[in-house]
Structure 1
Amino acid sequence: MRKWLSTQRQDFRRKLLPFDRVTDFSKLRRLTPYRPAFGWHRGKCIDRYYVEKFLQENRDAIRGSVLEVCNNEYTKRFGGKQFAKSDVLDLNENNPARTITADLSHCDAIGDTTFDCIICTQTLLLIYNFTAAVHELYRILRPGGVVLVTIPGISQICPTNMIGAGADYWRFTRHSARRMFAERFGSENTQVVTYGNVLAAVAFLHGLVVPELTAEELDYHDPDYELTVAVRARKSVTVANE
Structure 2
Amino acid sequence: MDMDTVIVTQNVSNCASDNIPSIQSYMSATNVYGITLVSIGSIAVITVVVAYLDTLNYIMKNSSSRVKAYSAFVTSVYPVIAVATFFAILVPRAHLLAEALTQGMFMVGMYQLWCLFVGYCGGEAEIVKKVKPGLLSLKVAPCCCWPCCIYLPTLNVNKNTLYYLRLLVLQLPIVQGFVYLILLVMWAERESLYQVNYMYLQPIIIVSILLGIWGMLMTINFLKIVLDQEFC
TM category (shorter chain) comes to under 0.3
The structure where strand makes up a greater share of residues is 1
Q: TM-score, normalised by structure 2?
A: 0.27
**Greater Rg over alpha carbons, structure:** 2
Q: TM-score, normalised by structure 1?
A: 0.26
The structure where helix makes up a greater share of residues is 2
